[in-house]
Amino acid sequence: MTQVSHVRATPTEIEFELLGNLARARGTTVESASAQDLYQALALTVRDHLIDRYIRTTKAHYEANPRFVYYLSAEYMLGRQLGQNLLYSGTADVARSALEALGVDPAEVAALDVEPGLGNGGLGRLAACLLDALATSDIPAVGYGIRYDFGIFKQEFRGGAQAERPDDWAYYGNPWEFRAPDDQQHIGFYGSTEPAGGNRAVWTPGETVLGEPSHMLVPGYGTGTVNIIRLWRARSAPESFDLSQFGAGRYGEAVEAMVRSGTISAVLYPDDSTELGRELRLKQQYFLVACSLRDIIRRYRLRNDGWDAFADKVVIQLNDTHPVIAIPELMRILVDEEGLAWEQAWSITRRVFAYTCHTLLPEALETWPVGLLRRLLPRHLEIIYLINHVFLQEVAALYPGDADRLRRLSIIEEGGEQRVRMAHLAVVGSFAVNGVAALHSRLLTETTLRAFAEMMPRQFHNVTNGISPRRFLLVANPGLTRLISARLGGTDWLRDLDRLAELEAAAGDPDFRARWRAVKRRNRQDLAAHALSEAGVSLDPDALCDVMIKRFHEYKRQLLRVLHVIVLYHRIKRGDLTGVVRRSVVFGGKAAPGYHAAKRVMLLANTVAEVVNADPDVAPYLKVAFLPDYNVTRAELIIPAADLSEQISLAGKEASGTSNMKLALNGALTIGTLDGANVEIRDRVGADNFFLFGMDATEAAALRAGPYNPRTYYELDEELRAAIDAVVGGPFACEGADLLVGELLTRDEYLTLADFRAYVDCQDRVAEAWRDQEEWTRRSIRNVARSGFFSSDRTVQDYCRDIWRVEPVPPGRD
Ligand code: GPV
């Protein structure tokens, strides 16, 4: 089907290549090959079909010596590679035929493809969607990250509670990566510094770690470009293996330093938008940054000399504050190692970096204790102090006598132990700062970064997030992709998502609507099969598929969703069918292992699911499926089936959200608050296609500021009271329910009770709308027709135009 290729291979050729790879890479034959052998050989075969394009891309880049975008991110959620690369290389159909000719079941082989879960949630997946769009838009770009040995944990439920299992994702080997030990880097930690005249110093690290890169291909869709993502793995420098200890029989001591080095890239921190100031995390951050900067400089020097052109050839995008230690690191390289004057080094640095902020939550704004920095990165702390000193002089000159402003702007947070505010360092050391949705960018300038926005307003931008239509339509939803392609004539729309607007008229075509419904039903059937095998829940493929997929976080308010389910349960039990239609309530998402409040909500959701699903009065109308281990692969299964998208965070808390876009693009209507990118989704799809409820950000902030008594809502709203009572001591009682309800009735940090009635009434309107299937389908189609804006291609265009000022370099065709 939908595929683009320059090299048209036949099934016989693919079969030949596959057998060749089986023999050479796996040392086996098709007769004796295991499924793993076949998978690995297939992956190599597919990879080979991208190599020519990759080589042509590097040649074109070498010749053009263009300005490059370097994306620095501690997280990437790439998703499975096989399906994507089959489609992008145009080998999907021929590979299938080749496998079948060999008597191999393609589905069985494809099931062995492992998703590298090198991220937590939205931020990591956004990085992957941007890389996809960069390649598709022919932008010279490299993504840098960490090759964690263990990715995001695998989630299981034990007695309804989340249990975490390690994710040894590369155990069988990752066939998509190329190791590049030649490009290794030596990275120092700890030690001491000595002044070396002027602003220079010599840093003598106390420990050295080796960074070894490998890269994976990042193909563009429908174009010749294949970019790369380069991931660093920590290893011990050979010096750190103490042979004398070994000789003396102290084996443990001998390998200790070796093991310690490796731990830097051993495991992804499973915390999403909540910082914990752990030394190992700062080590990871510096490791990523130090390796990547050296690699960027190495690449720059392939075609350029001196430092004059550096800021013209290099732009480094910092994905939140995690890689912000790159700013003092580049200063250190330029001043201490390259001998540039401070002012010149600062001028280069400030023209190279741009910073994306992904949050408004105060607890997500990273700060590091100066004591930790002084020990781990002594020279960087000195440089940060000097950056701050010079910066605060500018501030003082601009706002004479305004001590409060100095305090608000300072990179160093005073009071108790001094801490370095990484967001402040990021703003001071970058030429551009952006938020990730219009509302978020505005709130950043009005609240979190207000003093900076007042001082340097032109530095602040908005770049609304986007998602890859290739990953979330072409790969995830082939049925809908085929239907749209049939209507629009070909697959070019996957590179030009505004063309979805041409579907608008199709909403009026009864035949098209019937097909649309058939695709959605098919997808709900696939999801039902998964829900049955993975969660033991049987879902009705004709029921409204009501989906909430995202990390578990109090501000996202999964609890509000659960309370509504209890309301429906009570209504059905007493025979009141107001707002009741057949519904499948689907949850997916993980919580940070130490986030107990979020885990209590998960346990409650599972408890409610168990009671609801087992109740014969209720089950015909309502099912609840909490699908374990939500990840990109599961997202690809859930999203295409969804009819309703739950985006119900407290307004002013969600920076953007991206599942809102993925679900909208797959034909789900949204129920949501005016938060993050929901605002822009509603503006585009129209108020008719968006079930809006609840307080806006201003109202929520006002209510939070005054005295707020959540118990009043409990006392005045009978359905709310019944729902809450059913949690403490009622049918949904579970461990921690008392704590959960206690918090809700006394503090209710995220104003769940204040928005409860509006939400329940809004859900009643959803049910009403669902009853008219023809009209619902019209809305679903229009919703998709108007969602083209949320392509990550548009996001990349915005970055290119407003921030990066880079141009595409299309590689030659063969
Ligand atoms: I900061 N986000 C995340 O996934 N992890 C983080 O550490 C931080 C932010 C998320 C935001 O919460 C979402 O609103 C946003 O859509 C996403 O980043 C991508 O911008």
Give ligand 1 pocket residues (Cβ under 6 A): 120-123, 126, 272-273, 320, 358-359, 364, 436, 465, 654-658, 676
pLDDT at 814: 53
DSSP state of 791: B
Average pLDDT over every residue of 36-40: 97
Residue among 359, 654, 679 whose CB has most ligand 1 atoms within 8 A, to mutate: 359
Residue 121 Cα to ligand 1 middle (Å): 7
Nearest CA to ligand 1 atom 18: 123
Q: Give the other-Cβ count within 10 Å of 678's Cβ.
A: 28
Is the pLDDT assigned to residue 41 strictly greater than 50?
yes
What token pair was written down for 322? 């995690």
CA-wise closest residue to 603 among 619, 585, 591: 591
DSSP 652-672: TS-S--SHHHHHHHTTPEEEE
Nearest CA to ligand 1 atom 13: 657
Kindly give, in sequence order, each residue whose CB lies less than 8 Å from that of residue 63, ignoring residues fewer than 6 positions away: none
The ranges assigned to domains in the chain are 1-59+80-114, 65-76+120-464+798-804, 520-786
Is the pLDDT assigned to residue 8 strictly greater than 80?
no
The active-site residue, picked from 235, 556, 599, 634, is: 556
pLDDT at 277: 77
Residue among 358, 361, 550 whose CB has most ligand 1 atoms within 8 A, to mutate: 358
Active site residue 283: no
**Interval 696-739: pLDDT, tens:** 999 999 999 999 999 999 999 999 999 999 999 999 999 999 99
The CATH class for the domain spanning 65-76+120-464+798-804 reads: alpha beta
Active site residue 556: yes
User: ∠ at Cα 582 (729, 549), nearest 5°?
Assistant: 70
Residue 214 Cα to ligand 1 middle (Å): 26
Is there a shared CATH topology between the 65-76+120-464+798-804 domain and the 520-786 domain?
yes
Q: Is 547 within 8 Å of 638 (Cβ atoms)?
A: yes
Confidence of residue 4 (pLDDT cuts 50, 70, 90): very low
Q: Indicate the residue type of 413.
A: E
**Interval 418-477: pLDDT, tens:** 999 999 999 999 999 999 999 999 999 999 999 999 999 999 999 999 999 999 999 999
Is the pLDDT assigned to residue 5 strictly greater than 60?
no
CA distance 287 to 361: 26
The active-site residue, picked from 658, 670, 673, 752, is: 658
CA distance 704 to 313: 47
Alpha helix ranges (H) inside 65-116: 82-89, 92-101, 106-110
Residue 357 Cα to ligand 1 middle (Å): 9
Is the pLDDT assigned to residue 142 strictly greater than 60?
yes
- Cα-Cα-Cα-Cα dihedral of 689, 693, 696, 701, to 10°? -160
pLDDT at 247: 83
Nearest CA to ligand 1 atom 6: 273
Is the pLDDT assigned to residue 262 strictly greater than 90?
no
CA distance 650 to 79: 29
Question: What mean pLDDT value characterizes the chain?
Answer: 96
pLDDT at 487: 98
What is the CATH T-level fold of the domain 520-786, as seen in this structure?
A: Rossmann fold (3.40.50)
Confidence of residue 7 (pLDDT cuts 50, 70, 90): low
Is the pLDDT assigned to residue 2 strictly greater than 60?
no
Higher confidence at residue 184 or residue 246?
Answer: 184
The active-site residue, picked from 662, 682, 782, 786, is: 662
Residue 666 Cα to ligand 1 middle (Å): 21
Kindly give, in sequence order, each residue whose CB lies less than 8 Å from that of residue 565, ignoring residues fewer than 6 positions away: 585, 608, 612, 622, 624
CA-wise closest residue to 387 among 418, 422, 411: 411
**Interval 51-79: pLDDT, tens:** 999 999 999 999 999 999 999 999 999 99
CA distance 52 to 643: 41
pLDDT at 188: 98
**Interval 98-139: pLDDT, tens:** 999 999 999 999 999 999 999 999 999 999 999 999 999 999
Active site residue 461: no
pLDDT at 1: 34
**Interval 313-369: pLDDT, tens:** 999 999 999 999 999 999 999 999 999 999 999 999 999 999 999 999 988 889 999
Confidence of residue 6 (pLDDT cuts 50, 70, 90): very low
pLDDT at 332: 98
Q: Sign of the CA dihedral 434, 436, 442, 443?
A: negative
Total-model pTM: 0.98
